[in-house]
Copies of this chain bind each other. A is one copy, B any other.
């Protein structure tokens, strides 16, 4: 239903949306994010900064901004992160400037962050965020998916499973909840939520002008 949104955006010039999608590792969030970015040209991905090393195939500036610990601390000190956290011994943060730029131009920003990041972002944005949590169909299915990747040791998988249970326990900090038992259906649900959220009155920054012209008889 993407093709119907622009005429409203044109008329009502709207504020961009902070669109947060969280889920345990292995629940399919990355696939959904990729499909969403392909389908929605007005949406852009927030690229996190991290102090961890790139994995094979990861591209600096696309998957992450790979930075030194000193550089990370400078950004924190300058208050140039929207949120940041320690995860598994590394630091991850969301650079503020590209998000501010996108929002001010009426573009929506997609965040692939965990519940702590979602909470910090919610506070920073004065509550004006959209938060979606994606559940795996079951924990046994989540473990099966993690094992099918054949990239992680048993120990790493056990760590991811424990972390998944922790993530899931924070489901009540989200506005929408989905189960990913069919990636296409789940992607369509996420897209439907994005389209609906764009129609919220509170985001139509020029609506008052249009309403005034109507009431004047225009």
Docked CA distance A215–B7 (Å) = 44
Residues of B within 8 A of A211 (CB): 135, 168-169, 171
Count of chain A residues near B, Cβ 8 A: 46
Residues of chain A from 97 to 113 with CB closer than 8 A to chain B in the complex: none
Tell whether, in the assembled complex, residue B204 and residue A177 are in contact, meaning their CB atoms are under 8 Å apart.
yes
Within 8 A of B (CB), among A167-181: 168-169, 171-172, 174-179, 181
From B165, B176, B189, contact of A214 by CB (8 A):
B165
**A176 near B188: Cβ-Cβ < 8 Å:** no
Please name 15 pairs of A and B residues whose Cβ atoms are closer than 8 Å in the assembled complex, sorted by A.
A1-B192, A8-B189, A136-B214, A138-B213, A165-B214, A165-B215, A168-B214, A168-B215, A174-B201, A175-B201, A176-B199, A192-B192, A192-B196, A195-B196, A196-B196
User: 12 extra interchain contacts, Cβ-Cβ under 8 A, other than A8-B179, A172-B201, A196-B196?
Assistant: A4-B182, A5-B189, A11-B179, A135-B214, A139-B217, A169-B211, A171-B201, A175-B200, A175-B201, A176-B200, A177-B207, A196-B197
